[in-house]
Amino acid sequence: MDDTIVSIATALGVGAISIIRVSGKDSISIVNKIFKGCNLENVPSHTIHYGHIINNSEIIDEVLVSIMKSPKTYTVEDVVEINCHGGIATTNKVLELLIQNGCRIAEPGEFTKRAFLNGRIDLVEAEAVSDLINSETELERKVAINGINGNLSNLIKELREKIIKIISNIEVNIDYPEYLDIYEVTIDDIKNNVPIIKEELKKIIDDYENTHILYQGINVAIVGRPNVGKSSLLNKLLDNEKAIVTNIPGTTRDIVEGTIIIDGIKINLIDTAGIRETEDIVEKIGVNKSIEAMNNANLILMVLNNNEELTEEDKELIKKCSKPTIFIINKNDLETKLNIEDFFDNIDKNNIISINTVDNKEIDKVKNKIKELFHFDKILNSDFTYITNLRQINEIKKSYNLLLELEKELDDNNELDMLEIDLKEIWNTLGLIIGESYEEELLDNLFKNFCVGK
Amino acid sequence: MEYDIIVVGGGHAGCEASLASSRLGNKTLLITGNIKNIADMPCNPSVGGPAKGILVREIDALGGEMGINTDKSHIQLKMLNTKKGPAVRALRAQADKITYPKEMLKTLKSTKNLEIKEAIVDDLIVKDNKIKGIVLETGEKISCKIVILTTGTYLKADVLVGSERKPSGPHGEKPAKNLSDNLRKLGLTIQRLKTGTPPRIAKDSIDFDVLAREDGDNVLRTFSYDIDPLYKLEDQVPCFLTYTNEKTHEIINNNLKKSSMYGGYVTGIGPRYCPSIEDKVVKFADKERHQLFLEPESIYYDDIYLQGFSTSMPYDIQEEMVHSLKGLEHAKILKYAYAIEYDAIDPLEMKASLENKKIENLFTAGQINGTSGYEEAAAQGLIAGINASLKLQDKEPLILKRNEAYIGVLIDDLVTKGTKEPYRMLTSRAEYRLLLRHDNADIRLREFGYKIGLIDEERYLKFKNKLKAIEELTNYFKNNKLTTKENNLIEKLDTSPILDGITYYDLLKRPNITIEKLENILNLDLNYSNDVKEQVEISIKYEGYIKKALKEADKLKQLESIKIPNDFDYNEVSNIASEARQKFELIKPVTLGQASRISGVNPSDIAVLSVYLKRIKHE
């Protein structure tokens, strides 16, 4: 960490001014080498200076340079920010000059990493910042900013407080068994608290599922046998919503054909439509591909043809629908030949919609159904109190599972000091989320709350 | 005349250190201010208790004396926490304050290679930062290779009662006036600590009829793994309970300024877990009463120790306070309570071997290292004695890990976190307490004791046989099962019916099923000692928890395996917080694990350090 890093802090191509940020012990001297205006090495901290970036004697850009000296900076190191005015090409040229003079291009999130390693921000904040940087939509940004506010930290601290109270009481009971006046923790004290903690963790997990949808979007697999209108449906969806991405590889082996945004939420459409359909064997491969796509989806759009009778292949695919599914009876503008009554016995009729891809309004039915199924109203109105990333949610899920184990243990074990081991593990696991240590805190709590000793 | 090892101080640390040293073949001299006070118990008349009782067992497993000596001299024995799990059970004895020192002195006197001398040590002879000998108050010099300081509360000791302060050790003994100043001159950091002791009451002046009685257990037990019980159940002496009340609290509150502590006469830092009654009343003002224990000090004299009532009030106020207590309205105080201040070194200046970092061949153990308690002192004394001997043999020191022994936790805490108050061992200090049980101290540590040479062949063979028996019995339970045809037996065992065959092993995992129950209902003929059965039952019943603990311990091992070079320059690491850097430089942690336990060091400091250490390794 003793090298000096640089990166363009503003989004490229957005806005007229770009900011280049430099951090590290040589940041001021390096910038000074290519700056003409004043000697930056002699100026006070947290000041802004007008001048030019020069290459030998050639002026590259007219700039404002902010000097922020350690430790009151984002990374706790010396930080210099250069406001460039000359558009993207010039900004890139300045960047290049800085690198020539000893800077290294920063890895993604490296400024934040330094802020964390230098003790400027805690783990939760660091992670929230990195989420913020990577957010694409307005909603994601809302979510990321909430994370920094520390709602999660506060809740975790609160829950740990509850647990540590029981733990330190048990510890006192262990270390001072002869004191009869000290409250003796009972199994019920634990039994009463477990559901409360569980419920809070469940809320976080639910919130995560929702925010996950916000970050990653909903993966939707459009399946159906050939010729039922999958491609038209896909294209109509993409057309209407002006797909923001096309043909990019998804996180899975599937190809995300396109991503659309409905009410601010990303819908990743997974293609199975392109599977060809001439020979029998290939037909079969089509089914396999569809199954694979279904496995990787959050939602299945099962397309059937209103104009044809239900085939064995349809039935086979319907049986395989393992995720929430909207059954789309396509081509409702043509004569109804499909008899679904007997086959759809076990399926929620609410999730069957009848459309065609000729009329734009018909497509809205699909979108509305998606919104309804995934409770968009709830997601969008959620205040996202508890924002978590993958690492945090894993610890929370682990804590949740430990609570389930503890609940089981409570039924046939009544040795409090053993149950305390489980409580401590939960307490520690929750502590990992906010990066707090164990023992000191415990002892302080112990002696703050109990009066014991010779 | 040259000695291999000189031990300065004849308390619990000094006794263990001298015994370990002389038993390992070193020519040893024990210097004490007063031979009559060897292995004295100036504070409470008890040995053991939660965590401390496990320390005593560990001392015994390694070949120390405290366990055996307690077995020879107690007047009451109890197993504590029997209603809780096996990890927190511990023995506590009321030791007889006459018999305990007497037995210890007998042992010391009969030990080969060990001489005892009455004298006060004034200074150390140090050349090139290495011990050469000691200087007595008389000016006499005695040379030696290693010095172990176990001076207890005697360094510059002051006894405080009310506004009075006078230089004195416990019992009005002479304090060591010059040694701590001379240690400071040698470059050691000295801190001032404080502790206290409650009044002693004449037995026949107490109205025991109105007090709750606490008896010893009805089962014969021993601290030591090697001897049979030496006492009779019916000979045990009871303790009694009483409580403070509103009137007591009123007296204390009205006279607070008169106490040494609240009158501002004390400079040393006292222990949180051992507060004076003034402290308890002030800090826990909402508590209506505080529990007190009346413990007999000896069967040979009449003093009753009033545990929980330590104070530094003047004598007249102490009289008032004591007389306000139920059952003690007419009590006669035989010895008044007092606070005692003393010098101690900063334990951060020693290595985990208990050798000083600044002066080679100087070891310290017990209260001089900032601890409190007989057991903590004895444990360190034993380790100092062992490591001094190993040093003379040019061998690696014995450093027990946190997952191996409470002794390991104790010493690691001292050398890693230091202490600003007298340090007491608590179960809550041990992360792996399920592994550090009182019942398995021998399994954890006897091998060490044998290798070092403090456990002889006979004791070792006995231990080996126990291990073998444990294995046999475990296998027996694994290899024998109940079939579905025997569901009538299952019913008798009062457990849920089985659908498939079930081994005794799995059966024992069920709640309510014990080895004893299996023996009775299945008519098993298990010819094993209770110790063995207990061991097997615990390891089966708590298998899940034990596995968890072992997994946790593995994580520790990983951090401990990343070594920090002794000459590591923390200035090279530019992004460590300055507080952490100072701590690292002072403590010089040996591993990343130790570094992570230093207080005031944040996870991010450790992250940075870890990155650096990896980089060094690659280069």
pLDDT tens, residue by residue, A282-336: 445 455 666 777 777 889 998 888 888 888 878 877 877 878 889 998 888 888 8
List A residues 86-115 in contact with B (Cβ-Cβ < 8 A). Answer: 114
Q: Which chain B residues contact residue A435 at CB under 8 A?
A: 603
- Kindly state whether residues A207 and A312 are assigned to the same domain: no
Chain B residues with beta carbon closer than 8 angstroms to that of A453: 271-275, 308
Helix axes B603-618, A110-117, angle to 10 degrees: 110
Judge whether residue B350 has pLDDT over 90. Answer: yes
Q: Are strands A47-55 and A255-262 parallel, antiparallel or unpaired?
A: unpaired
Cβ of residue A398 closer than 8 Å to a chain B Cβ? no
Q: Domain spanning B561-617: which CATH class is it, in words? A: mainly alpha
How many separate domains does chain A show?
3
Flag whether pLDDT at A88 surpasses 80.
no
Q: How far apart, in whole angstroms, are the C-alpha atoms of residue A230 and residue A289?
A: 14
Of the ranges A122-126, A385-389, B580-584, the best mean pLDDT one: B580-584
Query: Which of B84, B287, B605 minimises the CB distance to A451?
Result: B287
| More confident: B58 or B509 | B58
Cβ within 8 Å, pair A418-B87: yes
- At residue A312, the pLDDT reads 80
Q: What is the three-class DSSP state of A7?
A: strand
What's the pLDDT at A136?
A: 46
Greatest mean pLDDT range, A73-77, A204-208, B114-118, B543-547: B114-118
Lowest mean pLDDT among A184-193, A432-441, B244-253, B316-325: A432-441
pLDDT score of A281: 47
State the DSSP string of A214-233. HHH-EEEEEE-STTSSHHHH
Q: For residue A299, what is the enclosing H or E element?
A: strand A299-305
If contacts are CB pairs under 8 Å, which of residues 225-264 in chain B contact chain A?
241, 243
Give the closest residue to A225 by CA, choosing from A129, A321, A290: A290
Tokens 């010098």 belong to which residue? Answer: B343
What residues form DSSP beta bridges with B239?
B214
A362-373 pLDDT per residue, tens: 888 888 898 888
| A73 assigned to some structural domain | yes
Of residues A107 and A244, more confidence is placed in: A107
B289: Cα within 13 Å, side-chain hemisphere: 14
The Cα–Cα gap between B454 and A18 comes to 74
CA distances from B62 to B5, B163, B447 (A): 20, 45, 8
- Spacing of C-alpha A199 from chain mean position: 22
Q: What is the pLDDT of residue A254?
A: 43
DSSP string, A237-274: HHHHHT-SEEEEE-SSSSEEEEEEEETTEEEEEEP-TT
Both A130 and A175 in a single domain? yes
Interchain CB distance below 8 Å, A119 and B602? yes
DSSP class of residue B268 equals S
Same domain (yes/no): A369, A225? yes
**End residue of a domain, out of A70, A104, A122:** A122
8 Å CB contact between A287 and A280:
no
Where a domain ends, among A122, A140, A168?
A: A122
What is the CATH classification number for the domain harbouring A415?
1.20.120.430
Cβ atoms within 10 Å of B82's Cβ, excluding its own: 12
- Note down the domain range covering A335: 215-379
Is B307 in CB contact (< 8 Å) with chain A? yes
Q: List the one residue out of B43, B92, B67 whose CA is nearest residue B215.
A: B92
**Which one of 1.10.1740.10, 3.40.190.10, 1.10.10.1800, 3.40.50.720 gives the CATH number of domain B457-549?**
1.10.10.1800
State the pLDDT at residue B617.
66
**Residues in chain A within 8 Å Cβ distance of B577:** 118-119
* Whether residue A318 sits in one domain with residue A370: yes
Same-domain status, A46 and A165: no
Residue A24 placed within a domain = yes
Q: Is the pLDDT confidence value at B143 over 80? A: yes
The residue behind tokens 């545990």 is B307
Residue A320 vs residue A406, higher pLDDT = A406
Nearest to A453 among B51, B85, B274 (CB): B274
Flag the least confident range among A279-293, A344-358, A423-437, B134-148: A279-293
Give the least confident one: A12-26, A183-197, B150-164.
Answer: A12-26
- Residue A447 inside a domain? The answer is no
- pLDDT above 80 (res A239): no
Q: Are B503 and B481 in contact (CB under 8 A)?
A: yes
Alpha-carbon distances, residue A26 vs A30, A98, A103, B490 (angstroms): 6, 11, 8, 77
Is the distance from CB of B339 to CB of B241 less than 8 angstroms?
A: no
CA atoms within 13 A on the CB side of B172: 2
Phi-psi region of B139 (alpha: psi -120 to 50; beta: other; left: phi over 0): left
Cα–chain-centroid distance for residue B83? 23
- The span from the CA of A453 to the CA of A343, in Å, is 75
Question: A111 to chain B: which residues are within 8 Å by CB?
Answer: none
Are the CB atoms for B104 and B91 separated by under 8 Å? no
Nearest CA distance, A179 vs chain B (angstrom): 7
Cis peptide before A71 (omega within 30 of 0): yes
**ipTM of the complex in this document:** 0.82
Q: Are A221 and A330 found together in one domain?
A: yes
Average pLDDT over residues A16-43: 91
C-alpha–C-alpha distance, residues B92 and B54, integer Å: 10
Indicate the SS3 state at residue A137.
coil
- Residues of CATH 1.10.10.1800 domain(s) within chain B? 457-549
Find residue A327's DSSP bridge partners. A302, A352
Question: Which tokens go with B278?
Answer: 């003034």
Q: What is the pLDDT of residue B161?
A: 87
pLDDT per residue as tens digits for the range B590-601: 998 899 888 878
For residue B196, is pLDDT > 60?
A: yes
How does the average pLDDT of chain B come out, rounded?
Answer: 92
Percent of chain B with pLDDT over 70: 97
- Domain contains A430: yes
Q: What is the pLDDT of residue A11?
A: 52
pLDDT at A293: 75
Whether the predicted pLDDT of B98 surpasses 90: yes
* A344 vs B: CB within 8 A: no
Residue B105 Cα, gap to closest chain A Cα (Å): 27
SS3 content of chain A, % helix, strand, coil (to 5): 50, 20, 35
Tens digit of pLDDT for each residue in A161-192?
Answer: 999 999 988 888 888 888 888 888 888 899 99
Dihedral (CA of B395, B400, B404, B405) sign: positive
Q: Name chain A contacts of B283, Cβ cutoff 8 Å.
A: 451
pLDDT of residue B84: 84
Same structural domain, A110 and A37: yes
- In the predicted model, what is the mean pLDDT of residues B60-74? 98
In angstroms, the CA B608 to CA B161 distance is 51
pLDDT attached to residue A435: 62
Residue A449 lies in a domain: no
Tell whether A171 is within 8 A of chain B (Cβ): yes
In B, minimum Cα distance to A451 occurs at: B280
Q: Could you tell me the two tokens for B602?
A: 């944040």
CA-nearest residue to B605 within chain A is: A117
Tell me the average pLDDT of chain A: 76
Average pLDDT over residues B557-582: 82
Pair (A308, A282) in one structural domain: yes
Tokens 């306070």 appear where?
Answer: B321
Task: Tell me, yes or no, whether A292 and A425 share the same domain.
Answer: no
Measure CB to CB from residue B604 to each of A117, A177, A452 and give the nearest one: A117
Kindly list the residues from chain A whose CB atom is less than 8 angstroms away from the CB atom of residue B373: none
Q: In terms of DSSP H, where are the helices of B155-310?
A: 179-185, 246-254, 277-283
Question: How confident is the model at residue A446, as a pLDDT?
Answer: 44
Residue intervals of chain B classified under CATH 1.10.150.570 are 561-617
pLDDT of residue A181: 81
Residue A12 has pLDDT above 60, yes or no: no
pLDDT in tens, A95-105: 888 988 988 87
Q: Which residue has the tokens 């960047």?
A: A95
Neighbours of B245 (CB within 10 A): 14
- % residues pLDDT > 90 (chain B): 71
The one-letter amino acid at B372: S
Q: What is the mean pLDDT of residues B126-143?
A: 96
Of B259-263, B407-411, B571-575, which gets the smallest average pLDDT? B571-575
Evaluate whether residue A373 is within a structural domain.
yes
> Please, are residues A338 and A372 in contact by the beta-carbon 8 Å criterion?
no
Q: Tell which of A112, A175, A450 to mutate to test the B interface (max B CBs under 10 Å).
A: A175
Indicate whether B97 pLDDT > 50. yes
Q: Within chain B, what is the greatest distance between any pair of CA atoms?
A: 85
CA distance B584 to B330: 57
**Closest Cα in chain A, distance from residue B345 (Å):** 22
Tell me: pLDDT of B455 over 60.
yes
Contact: B307, A437; criterion CB under 8 Å: no
Residue A188 lies in a domain: yes
Which has more confidence, A299 or A133?
A: A299
> CB–CB of B427 and A412 under 8 A?
no
**Inter-chain CB proximity A417 and B84 less than 8 Å:** yes
Size of interface A-B (CB pairs under 8 A): 108
B289 contacts A174? CB cut-off 8 A: no
A118 and A129: one domain? no
Helices (H) and strands (E) in chain A, counts: 15, 14
Length of chain A: 454
Q: Is B50 on the interface with A (CB under 8 A)?
A: yes
Minimum Cα–Cα distance from A173: chain B residue: B81
Give the pLDDT of residue A283: 47
pTM of the model as a whole: 0.76
Whether A91 shows a pLDDT value over 70: the answer reads yes
Structure tokens at B385: 């004695």
pLDDT band at A16 (very low <50, low <70, confident <90, very high): low
Chain A residues with CB under 8 Å of B290 CB are: 181, 451
What's the whole-number mean pLDDT along residues B70-82? 95
110-139 of A, contacting B, C-beta below 8 A:
114, 116-119, 123
**Chain-chain contact of B307 with A447 (C-beta, under 8 angstroms):** no
Nearest to B420 by CA among B191, B601, B594, B600: B191
Written as one letter, the residue type at B229 is: P
Q: Which of residues 77-136 of B touch A (CB under 8 A)?
A: 80-81, 84-85, 87-88
Q: What is the pLDDT of residue A401?
A: 92
- According to the model, what pLDDT value does residue A439 have? 40
In this predicted model, what pLDDT tens digit does every residue of B279-294 receive, in sequence order? 888 888 888 999 999 9
Mean pLDDT of B36-54: 94
Q: Which one is predicted more confidently, B551 or B202?
A: B202
Q: Is residue A443 part of a domain?
A: no
Tell me the residue type at B147: V
Query: Look-up: residue for tokens 């600044």?
Result: B358
Per the CB < 8 A criterion, the answer to whether B19 and B114 are in contact is yes
Task: Tell me if A174 and B88 make a contact (CB, 8 A cut-off).
Answer: yes
pLDDT beyond 80 at A72: yes
CB atoms within 10 A of CB A56: 5
Helix (H) or strand (E) holding A292: helix A280-295
Domain co-membership, A219 together with A207: no
The domain spanning residue A83 has which CATH number? 3.30.1360.120
Range with the poorest average pLDDT among B28-32, B416-420, B537-541, B557-561? B557-561
Same domain, A280 and A137: no
Half-sphere exposure of B463 (CA within 13 A, CB side): 24
